[in-house]
């Protein structure tokens, strides 16, 4: 007989969060789904499932996050899997965005995720078990023009998760960062994506072209959100989950193209790269050979 797990999913009202929530409930597990508002609407949409607890919470409010996590533990006794999903996109050239626009993107995508991780980990450490799954992006593996600032928040999530996985491994806790490609969700809608208020005409051929592409690509993305949700079910039930999980052929292609280009640059600049150590270090290296 299956042992029920409790999943804590941020941003559960739409997009990936909603699809994963539906898949988890269908699998027989429990879900604590967080929303910023209109919690009763999500409960009604999911037929007031007794295995679902909807909690109102803003990931940028640390006190709300702590209260929501405590409510989850009080209701279901434990949190086995955390899905850090809440976030939004910023489409902008690096020069175009204001300091405030960039800071707010980091507040939600990075510092918000950290708030939830810090709130959940004490309970996982007590149980010496658990799995933290942070959602990154194809833009967190390789940069795109117009997505550099948003992508930098996801690069941060990649690095945080890598370190976290090493830190919590001796405690019986797992950590995975999932990098989805372009999936057919509402991510390119105004509800999940903002564009910088400033638009500089000199970037029309690069960032401007990306804005046009994003508008045309909306609702035509190759990824299937329902299949992504099933990938999360497999990940959450894995006894040996990966630290990195790219999802979508577009993500895999992007990462492989980046690593190939990186290897070519290393080959071209190998003498410079390897010629920066002290002479005594080089001598010891040659002796070892």
Instruction: Report the relative pairing of strands 130-135 and 81-84 from DSSP bridges.
Output: parallel
- Mean pLDDT across the stretch 151-160? 97
pLDDT band of 263, cuts 50, 70, 90: very high
Phi, psi (degrees; rounded to nearest 5) at 128: 55, 45
Top pLDDT among 151 and 39 is at 151
pLDDT at 278: 85
pLDDT tier at 56, thresholds 50, 70, 90: very high
Reported as type and span, the H/E element at residue 101 is: helix 99-106
Q: What is the pLDDT averaged over residues 2-28?
A: 93
Mean pLDDT of 254-273: 95
DSSP state of 108: I
Whole-angstrom distance, CA of residue 178 vs CA of residue 186: 18
Q: Indicate the average pLDDT of the chain.
A: 91
pTM, rounded to two decimals: 0.90
Please indicate whether residue 249 is annotated as part of the active site: no
Q: Could you say which of 22, 30, 154, 174 is catalytic?
A: 154
Cross-strand bridge partners of residue 55: 34
Reply yes or no on domain 6-247 having CATH 3.40.50.720: yes
Contact 175, 132 (CB under 8 A): yes
Residue 275 has pLDDT above 60, yes or no: yes
> For the segment 103-115, what is each residue's pLDDT rounded down to a tens digit?
999 999 999 999 9
Q: Which of the residues 136, 152, 195, 196 is marked catalytic?
A: 136
pLDDT digits (tens, 9 = 90+) for 182-236: 866 555 556 557 889 999 999 999 999 988 887 776 656 667 888 999 999 999 9
**pLDDT value at position 239?**
93
Is the CA virtual torsion 92, 94, 95, 97 positive or negative? positive
Residue 17 and residue 9 in contact, taking contact as beta carbons nearer than 8 Å:
yes
Q: Which of 22, 27, 92, 150 is catalytic?
A: 150
Residue 13 is a catalytic residue: no
Percent of the chain predicted with pLDDT > 70: 91
Question: pLDDT confidence of 287, banded at 50, 70, 90?
Answer: low
Q: Which of 27, 47, 48 is nearest to 231 (CA)?
A: 27
What does the pLDDT read at residue 198? Answer: 93
Asked if 196 and 93 count as a contact pair (C-beta separation under 8 A), the reply is yes
Is 136 among the residues known to form the active site? yes
Q: Percentage of the chain surpassing pLDDT 90?
A: 72
**pLDDT for residue 40:** 87
Please tell me the predicted confidence (pLDDT) of residue 39: 84
For every residue of 266-284, DSSP letters joined together read: HHHTHHHHHT-S-HHHHHH
Q: How confident is the model at residue 285 (pLDDT cuts 50, 70, 90)?
A: low
Q: Which DSSP string corresponds to 117-139?
A: HHHHHHHHHHHT-EEEEEE--GG
Helix axis angle for 112-127 and 62-76, nearest 10°, is 30
Band of pLDDT at residue 3, cut at 50, 70 and 90: confident
């Amino acid at each position: 007989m299956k042992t029920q797990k409790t999943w804590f999913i941020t941003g559960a009202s739409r997009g990936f969060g909603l699809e994963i929530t539906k898949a988890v409930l269908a699998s027989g597990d429990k879900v604590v789904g967080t929303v910023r508002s209109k919690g009763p609407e999500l409960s009604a949409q999911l037929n007031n499932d007794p295995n679902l607890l909807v909690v109102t919470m803003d990931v940028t409010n640390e006190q709300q996050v702590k209260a929501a996590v405590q409510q989850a533990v009080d209701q279901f006794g434990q949190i086995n899997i955390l899905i850090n999903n809440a976030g939004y996109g910023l489409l902008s050239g690096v020069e175009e965005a204001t300091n405030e626009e960039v800071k707010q993107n980091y507040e939600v995508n990075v510092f918000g995720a950290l708030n939830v991780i810090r709130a959940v980990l004490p309970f996982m450490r007590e149980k010496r078990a658990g799995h933290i799954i942070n959602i990154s992006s194809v833009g967190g593996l390789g940069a795109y023009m117009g997505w550099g600032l948003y992508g930098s928040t996801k690069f941060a999530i990649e690095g945080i998760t890598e370190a976290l996985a090493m830190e919590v491994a001796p405690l019986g806790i797992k950590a995975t960062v999932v990098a989805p490609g372009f999936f057919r969700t509402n991510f390119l809608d105004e509800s999940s994506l903002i564009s910088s208020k400033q638009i500089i005409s000199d970037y029309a051929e690069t960032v401007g072209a990306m804005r046009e592409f994003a508008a045309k690509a909306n609702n035509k993305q190759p990824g299937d959100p329902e299949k992504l949700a099933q990938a999360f079910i497999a990940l959450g039930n894995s006894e040996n989950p990966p630290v990195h999980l790219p999802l979508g052929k577009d993500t895999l292609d992007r990462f492989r193209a980046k690593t190939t280009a990186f290897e070519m640059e290393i080959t071209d600049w190998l003498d410079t790269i390897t010629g920066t150590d002290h002479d005594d270090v080089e001598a010891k290296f040659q002796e070892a050979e």
